[in-house]
C-alpha cells in the first residue's frame, strides 16, 4: 500500500492576489514552500496546482529525481 498524500485543499494567501493555484497534496514541492503565516484553507477560486496533478498521475510510477 502506498501512502496517500492527499490533503484538504490549501493555498497561499498570496495566490489569491497573484492568480495562483491551490494545492491538495502534502508532498507538493511548491505547496511545501508556503509559509505557515501565508497558509489559507480551501481552494478559493484558484485552479489546481499542476504539480499536485502530476504527483497524482505519477503516484504509480517512480518519479524522476
User: Which of these, 11, 14, 20, 26, lies nearest to 59 by C-alpha position?
Assistant: 26
Return the residue of 9, 31, 34, 46 that touches Zn ion, per CB under 5 A: 31
Size of the site for Zn ion (CB under 5 A): 7
Q: Choose which of 15, 34, 46, 49 interacts with Zn ion (CB under 5 A).
A: 49
Residue 23 found at the interface with Zn ion (CB under 5 A):
yes
Residue 3 CB neighbours (<10 A): 8
Dist CA 47 CA 28 (whole Å): 15
- How far apart are CB 52 and Zn ion at their closest, in Å? 4
Amino acid at each position: 500500500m502506498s501512502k496517500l498524500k492527499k490533503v484538504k485543499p490549501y493555498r497561499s494567501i498570496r495566490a489569491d492576489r497573484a492568480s495562483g493555484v491551490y494545492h491538495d497534496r502534502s508532498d507538493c514541492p511548491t505547496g511545501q514552500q508556503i509559509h505557515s503565516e501565508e497558509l489559507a484553507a480551501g481552494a478559493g477560486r484558484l485552479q489546481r496546482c499542476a504539480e499536485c496533478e502530476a504527483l497524482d498521475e505519477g503516484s504509480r510510477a517512480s518519479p524522476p529525481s
